[in-house]
C-alpha cells in the first residue's frame, strides 16, 4: 500500500435504499490514478508488482462504482482465492470506507441451502468479500445473479483459467446480456502464468476475464520509486 496523504472530502449516495457517506480519505499516487482512470473506462487487469498498491486502486474503483446510478440495488463483489485474504481485504475496505462490508468463508458462511439468508446478506451489503468457490456456489444455486452485481474484483486474477472457480464465475458472466454485465477489475503481479508462452498466457487471461491487461505507462518512474525492491532468493507472490 502506498499513500501520500489524506484528504477529508465526503460524498453521499443512496445504495440499496440507504444513504451512505463515502469518505474519500486516500490520495493515491499518480500511477495509481492512471490505472484507476483506465479502469473507469474499460474492464482491465492491473499487472503491478506486489506491494505497489493494487488494492488501493480497487478501493478507488469501488467508491466510484457505488456512486453510479445503475449501481442502485446492486452489490460489489470482491473475490479472493484464499481464505486468509478474505479477512485482509474486508478489513481494508472497512477501514477506508463506511460501506457495508460482509465477508464469507469457511465457518463464517451460511448453509448453501439457506436461500433466504443469502439473499438477505447480499441485500444488506454494499460490498461482499468472499472466496471464489463460495460465490460460484451462490450463482449456480441461483441465490444471487451476475446482473445484480455492479463490479467484480478478482484478486490474484491469474488463476482465471481451466477449472478454477474464477473461470466458473466468468462462465456465468458470459451468459448474461452484455448490457447487464458488471464491470470487471483484475489484479495480479503474475499475468504470465506460462513463461514458455507469454503472449498466449496474456491472451488467455484477457479472453477469460473479458478484460485487457495493462501496466503503468505515464508514471513509470514513480511506480519504480514506490515499489518494493525484489530480494534475492525470496519469491514474489501476487
Q: What is the pLDDT of residue 28?
A: 81
Contact 188, 238 (CB under 8 A): yes
Q: What is the pLDDT of residue 105?
A: 84
User: Residue 144 and residue 193: Cα distance in Å, rounded?
Assistant: 31
Superfamily of domain 26-226: P-loop containing nucleotide triphosphate hydrolases (3.40.50.300)
Which cell numbers in the block locate residue 52?
Answer: 505497489
Question: Mean pLDDT for each consecutive 10-residue tract of the chain (238 residues)?
Answer: 40 47 65 92 92 88 96 97 93 93 79 87 96 95 96 97 97 98 96 89 96 75 54 41
Q: What is the pLDDT of residue 51?
A: 73
User: Residue 63 and residue 36: Cα distance in Å, rounded?
Assistant: 11
User: What is the reported pTM?
Assistant: 0.83
Q: What is the pLDDT of residue 5?
A: 36
Going from N- to C-terminal start, the domains of the chain cover 26-226
First to last CA, the chain: 14
User: Residue 231 and residue 195: Cα distance in Å, rounded?
Assistant: 21
Q: What is the pLDDT of residue 6?
A: 41
Contact 55, 219 (CB under 8 A): no
Q: What is the pLDDT of residue 194?
A: 84
Q: What share of the chain is helix, strand, coil (3-state, %, to 5)?
A: 45, 20, 35
Amino acid at each position: 500500500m502506498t499513500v501520500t496523504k489524506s484528504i477529508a472530502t465526503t460524498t453521499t449516495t443512496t445504495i440499496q435504499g440507504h444513504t451512505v457517506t463515502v469518505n474519500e480519505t486516500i490520495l493515491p499516487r499518480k500511477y495509481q490514478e492512471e490505472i484507476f482512470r483506465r479502469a473507469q473506462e474499460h474492464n482491465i487487469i492491473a499487472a503491478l508488482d506486489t506491494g505497489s498498491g493494487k488494492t488501493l486502486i480497487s478501493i478507488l474503483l469501488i467508491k466510484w462504482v457505488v456512486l453510479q446510478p445503475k449501481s442502485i440495488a446492486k452489490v460489489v463483489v470482491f473475490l479472493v482465492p484464499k481464505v486468509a485474504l478474505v479477512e485482509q481485504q474486508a478489513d481494508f475496505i472497512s477501514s477506508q470506507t463506511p460501506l457495508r462490508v460482509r465477508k464469507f468463508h469457511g465457518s463464517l458462511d451460511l448453509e448453501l441451502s439457506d436461500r433466504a439468508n443469502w439473499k438477505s446478506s447480499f441485500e444488506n451489503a454494499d460490498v461482499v468479500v468472499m472466496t471464489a468457490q463460495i460465490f460460484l456456489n451462490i450463482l449456480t444455486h441461483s441465490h444471487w445473479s451476475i446482473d445484480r452485481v455492479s463490479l467484480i474484483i478478482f484478486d490474484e486474477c491469474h488463476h482465471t483459467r481451466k477449472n478454477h472457480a474464477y473461470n466458473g464465475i466468468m462462465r456465468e458472466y458470459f451468459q448474461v446480456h452484455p448490457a447487464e454485465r458488471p464491470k470487471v477489475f483484475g489484479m495480479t503481479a503474475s499475468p504470465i502464468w506460462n513463461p514458455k508462452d507469454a503472449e498466449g498466457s496474456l491472451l488467455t487471461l484477457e479472453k477469460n476475464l473479458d478484460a485487457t491487461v495493462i501496466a503503468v505507462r505515464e508514471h513509470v518512474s514513480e511506480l519504480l520509486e514506490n515499489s518494493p525492491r525484489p530480494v534475492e532468493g525470496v519469491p514474489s507472490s501476487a
